[in-house]
Amino acid sequence: MVVLQQCPASMAYVVSANMDMKVPDYKLEASISKIFASEAAWYVTDECIQVLGGMGYMQETGVERVLRDLRIFRIFEGTNDILRLFVALTGIEVRGFLRLCFKPFVFSFFCSSLFSLCSKVGIPTGLSLEGIVHPGLDNSAHLVREFFLKDLFLRARPCNEQFHLKRVADAAIDIYAMAVVISRASRSLSLGRPTAEHEKLLCQTWSHEAFERVRENLRAVKSSTWNQSFANMKLISNAVVQNQGILAAHPLGF
C-alpha cells in the first residue's frame, strides 16, 4: 500500500513541474498519472477494508465511503480504458516508439539535468544513467534502461487489437512509474534526506516488480499463446452477445 502511494505522489510532482515550466505537451504524463492514481487508490482502499475485516465495511471506520467515492475516478475525466488506448496509440505513432517516458523534462524536476534525449525517433544505444541517478539506485536505473535499448515499443500490434494495446499501455505506465520513483528517491539520497533510505527501499521494490510486469506484458504482445487466448475471448464475447446471455447450460441438466 505504501509503495503504491509513493508512485502517484511522484507522478504528481513531475506533472506539476511540467506545468510550472510551461511545457507545451504533457497530456501523456497526465493520462498515465490519472490511470495509475485512480487504480492505486482503489486498490489501497480495498486492501484497507480487507485488513480491517468486517469493521472495514461499517460506517464507523469511514473507509467504505472512501471506496464508494473512489469508484467514479476510474470513469470520469476520461475512462481508464479509453486513456489506455490513448497512451498506447500516441506512444506508437512514430514507428512504434514510445516517446513519453524520457522527454528531457521528466527527470529534471528532481535531479538536475537528466536524459537530454530526443523524443521524436528513438533512444541512442549508448544511453547511460551513470552520474545522473544516485549510485545507490544503479540497479533500478539499469532495469529502466534495459527496455529502451531494445527498441521497446517496436513490437506493438496493429491499432485495432485492443487487447495488445492494453498490454503496451500497461508496460508504458509501469516504466513511467519506475522513472519518477527513481527520480524522487535519487533526489532524496543526493540531498541526504532523513527518509532517503526508506524511499530507496520503496523504489527498489517497485522497480523490481514493475520490471517483471513490463517484461511479461511485452512477451504477451508477441506470444502466439496469448494471441490465441485473445482470439478465444472475441469468440466468447460474440457468442454471448448473439445469445443475449450465457450459453453454457447447467452441468446437471436442469
Active site residue 39: no
Say how far apart CA 221 and CA 227 lie, in whole Å.
8
Q: Which range of residues forms the domain containing residue 84?
A: 1-243
Residue 252 lies in a domain: no
In terms of pTM, does the model score above 0.85?
A: no
Catalytic residue among 29, 60, 77, 197: 77
Task: Classify residue 87: in a domain, yes or no.
Answer: yes
Burial of 78 from C-beta contacts in 10 A (0-12 / 13-18 / 19+) = middle
Q: How far apart are CA 146 and CA 152, in angstroms?
A: 9
CA distance 72 to 199: 30
SS (H, E, C) 33-53: HHHHHHHHHHHHHHHHHHHHH
- Condensed to tens digits (0 to 9), the pLDDT of residues 64-102 reads 999 999 999 999 888 999 999 998 888 766 444 334 433
With respect to residue 150, please indicate whether it lies within any of the assigned structural domains.
Answer: yes
What is residue 94's three-state secondary structure? strand
Which residue has 498515465 as its cell numbers? Answer: 32
95 within a domain of the structure (yes/no): yes
144 assigned to some structural domain: yes
What is residue 97's three-state secondary structure?
A: strand
Q: 248 in a domain, yes or no?
A: no
User: What confidence tens digit (pLDDT) does each residue in 154-209 have?
Assistant: 555 555 678 888 988 998 899 889 989 998 999 999 999 999 999 999 999 999 99
pLDDT value of position 128: 59
Taking CA atoms, 29 is separated from 41, 132, 175, 184, in Å, by: 18, 21, 12, 16
CATH number, domain containing residue 146: 1.20.140.10
Whole-angstrom Cα Rg for the chain: 20
| DSSP 8-state symbol, 196 | H
Let me know: does 33 contact 8? Beta carbons within 8 Å.
Answer: yes
Whether 122 shows a pLDDT value over 60: the answer reads: no
Residue 41 lies in a domain: yes
Structural domain includes residue 219:
yes
Number of domains in the chain: 1
In 3-state terms, what secondary structure has residue 184?
A: helix
